[in-house]
Structure 1
Amino acid sequence: MKTVLITGCSSGYGLETARHFHAGGWNVVATMRSPRQDILPRSERMRVVALDVTNEDSIAAALAACGPIDVLVNNAGIGLVGAFEAMPMVHVRKLFETNTFGVMAMTQAVIPQFRARRSGVVVNVTSSVTLAPMPLAAAYTASKMAIEGFTGSLAHELGAFDVRVKLVEPGYAPSTRFAHNTELRVGDLIPEAYAGFAGPIFAGFATPEMVTKETDVAEAVWLAANDVSGQLRFPAGPDAVALAQAS
């Protein structure tokens, strides 16, 4: 029976992915900063572990507590929407600490066990903004683009040890409350000079033609984790699939 460790399981993609793998018969280590067992199935195959991906001591403690794993899903992330001109750099750095350096730190921590066993899979969850960058998300897009390049390079590097590295690229999912997981309000990041430009964009967010569901992402992560081909990218959701086909 295989074991998957998933970061950022308190809500959204991570929560649904943990449920999906559990339903598929896997052992699941669902990690989150503030552990909550009540949102996940009660089962001997489901463990909830505290983990802050921006803290190396927390990473080491979580991995020591859960033991060997077969798949790492780097899902934890935060959003940040607004005019880049108005974004305090302290918050841009926080964005990168979670979305970029947190992914790198988690991956670096599991590589030794994967390499020694000559098996294992790393699945990095990015975003469809890497397929078609959108306005008012410059810093967020940059943090995810960095992981796209990191993953593509690492897939070659770890392939020499039979370790697979994959990308899942979710589309727009309004139900995840994108950008609501920071202490900044979106309205504070739209200066008056940008109001006319931003209005139609936010109106489009409110009435999207296609949306991605958490279940779409969970299924894409499942496919990526079990894929033994050389496929690197797995777009998730109809909008992401359409963007991938157009690119």
Structure 2
Amino acid sequence: MTTVLITGCSSGYGLATARRFLDEGWNVLATMRNPREGVLAPSDRLRVLALDVTDPASVAGAVEAAGAVDVLVNNAGIGAVGAFEATPMSTVRELFETNTFGVMAMTQAVIPQMRGRGSGVIVNVTSSVTLAAMPLAAAYTASKAAIEGFTGSLALELGFFGVRAKLVEPGYGPGTQFTSNGIERMAGLIPPEYQAFAAPVFEEFETPGAVTTPGDVADVVYQAATDPSERLRYAAGADAVALAAAT
């Protein structure tokens, strides 16, 4: 039976992805920074592990506790919305610590076992902002775009050992905890000079056209994890699929 380790399973895309793999009969290692009961229904194929991807000791401990991992899904991430001019560099660094360096740390931690077995899949969840620029998300976009380049290169070097690296690019998911946290993180960081520009942008956030649901992302992550081809990118959600087709 195959085993998947998924980061960021407390809500949203990670939670839906954990449920999808459980439904497909996999052993699931669902990780979250602060594990709590009731997030996922009990199962003899489920283990919930504490993991902070920004903490090297936590990363090492979780991977050691996990044992053999056939698929790693790097889903944990944080968002931020606001004018870059007003974004503290501490916030920029916070985004990169989780969205970029956290993904790299988890990937580096599982590569030795996958390379040793000559098999394995690493699925990195980025964002459709890497497909088409979006205003008021410069720092967030940079943190995700870095993983796009990272994964493309990684796929080439790990392919030699039979290990695949994949990218899942979700579209905009209003109503998720991730989105609300991103907006809250930047509260008050729209300077007066930007109000006229930002108002219609936020209005569009509130009334989007096509959107992406957690189920959409879970389906595409599962597709990427089980696809034996060398395909690298998988758009998730109707809006992301439309953007990918236009690029």
User: Considering the TM-score relative to the shorter chain, is it more than 0.5?
Assistant: yes
Q: TM-score, normalised by structure 2?
A: 0.98
More deviation in 184-193 or 200-209?
A: 184-193
For residue 66 of structure 2, what is the aligned residue in structure 1? 66
How far is 1:212 from its partner? 0.2
User: SS in structure 1 opposite 2:208?
Assistant: coil
TM superposition shift of 1:36: 1.8
Query: Counterpart in 2 of 1:147?
Result: 147
Q: Match of 2:187?
A: 187
Does the 8 Å contact 2:173/2:179 carry over to 1? no
1:37 Cα deviation (Å)?
Answer: 3.1
Instruction: Note if 1:244 corresponds to 2:239.
Output: no
Alignment match, 1:211 = 211
- List runs of 5+ in structure 1 lacking aligned partners: none
2:17 counterpart residue number: 17
Mapping 1:20-31, distance limit 5 Å: 20-31=20-31
- Using the aligned pairs only, state the percent identity: 68
Give CA-to-partner distance per residue, 1:125-172, whole Å, 9 cap, x none: 000000001000000000000000000000000000010000000000
Q: d(CA) in 2 for partners of 1:200 and 1:6? A: 36
- Structure 1 residue 66, shift from structure 2 partner: 1.5
Aligned-pair CA distance for 1:87 = 0.5
Distance 2:177 2:183 in 1: 13
Q: Give the length in aligned residue pairs.
A: 247
Quick one: which amino acid aligns to residue 121 of structure 1? V
- Looking at structure 1, the residues matched to 55 and 180 of structure 2 have their Cα atoms a distance apart, in angstroms, of 22
Would the aligned equivalents of 1:54 and 1:98 in 2 still touch at CA under 8 Å?
Answer: yes
| Partner amino acid, structure 2, of 1:197 | F
- Please, which runs of 5 or more residues in structure 2 have no aligned partner? none
The 1-side partners of 2:233 and 2:124 are apart by 10
Match of 1:228 in 2: 228
The amino acid that maps onto 1:38 is G
The runs of at least 4 consecutive aligned structure 1 residues that moved more than 4 Å come to: 182-185
For 2:135, the aligned partner's letter is P
Spell out, residue by residue over 1:185-243, the C-alpha distance to the aligned partner (whole angstroms, 9 max, x if none): 43311000000000000000000011100000000000000001111000000000000
Conservation of the 8 A alpha-carbon contact between 1:81 and 1:179: no
- 8 A Cα contact 2:81 2:182, kept in partner: no
CA shift digits 1:18-67 (9 cap, x unpaired): 00000000000000010123110201101100000001100111111111
The residue type paired with residue 31 of structure 2 is T
Alignment of 1:167-178 (within 5 A): 167-178=167-178
Q: Distance in 2 between matches of 1:78 and 1:214?
A: 15
1:8 maps to 2:8:
yes
Aligned to 1:133: 133
Residues 1:35 and 2:35 are matched in the alignment: yes
In 1, Cα distance between the equivalents of 2:180 and 2:68? Answer: 34
Higher mean displacement: 68-77 or 36-45: 36-45
Tell me, in whole angstroms, the C-alpha distance in 1 between the residues paired with 2:86 and 2:192. Answer: 11
Q: Which amino acid counterpart does residue 115 of structure 1 have in structure 2?
A: R
CA–CA distance in structure 2, aligned partners of residues 12 and 116 of structure 1: 33
Q: TM-score, normalised by structure 1?
A: 0.98
